[in-house]
Amino acid sequence: MSSIGHIAVTTKDMDASMDFYTKAMGFKKAFEINNPKTGEPWIIYLHVGKGQFLELFYNGTIENPWNGKLTGLNHICIQVDDIFSSTKRIEEAGYAMDSQPTQGTDLNWQSWVKDPDGVRIELMQLDEASPQIKYLKENSNEA
């Protein structure tokens, strides 16, 4: 196994999700796939970077409010080069941050936002002293 290929999110309002992920997050629409049985819009792929995609499905109808005690997916973490400019970009696109940049226990900088469907997104800027960087340096064949 070499990397995460994509993460899938089901949306209740594709236009709102596309606005958030393209304008606020800066992802680019890569392509769409129509439902092979009906021909109707089904999935939009957004390119995140380095061969990774976010897959947005149409027609979600049941909300899934986040609760830290639920098992399963907790959040999506997007690695950024500059946490402050990334946070500013999201705010300038009209979205409220759940938290401003702070340095976490692992020494990385992080801030948080939710997408229009309530999916929690962590923005993370790696710090040179973080255990992630240390691991990658010690295991450079896995980077």
For residues 86-93, average pLDDT: 98
Distance CA 125, CA 41 (A): 35
Q: What is the pLDDT of residue 97?
A: 98
Q: Which pLDDT value is given to residue 143? A: 55
48 Cβ neighbours under 8 A, 6+ residues apart: 27, 54, 78
Q: Which of 62, 48, 50, 56 is nearest to 18 (CA)?
A: 56
**Do both 56 and 83 map to the same domain?**
no
Q: Is residue 67 domain-resident?
A: no
Q: Tell me, what CATH number does 24's domain have?
A: 3.10.180.10
The yes-or-no verdict on residue 142 having pLDDT over 80 is: no
Average pLDDT over residues 107-123: 96
Domain that holds residue 94: 74-143
In a domain, 96, yes or no: yes
Has residue 81 been placed in a domain? yes
Q: How confident is the model at residue 127 (pLDDT cuts 50, 70, 90)?
A: very high
Residue 101 near residue 110 (C-beta atoms within 8 A): yes
Maximum CA extent, the chain: 52
DSSP 8-state assignment for residue 140: G
Q: What is the mean pLDDT of the chain?
A: 94
Count of beta carbons in the 10 Å neighbourhood of residue 9: 18
Distance of alpha carbon 46 from alpha carbon 129, whole angstroms: 31
Domain count, the chain: 2
> Is 68 a member of any domain?
no
38-84 confidence digits (pLDDT tens): 999 999 999 999 999 999 999 999 888 888 888 888 999 999 999 99
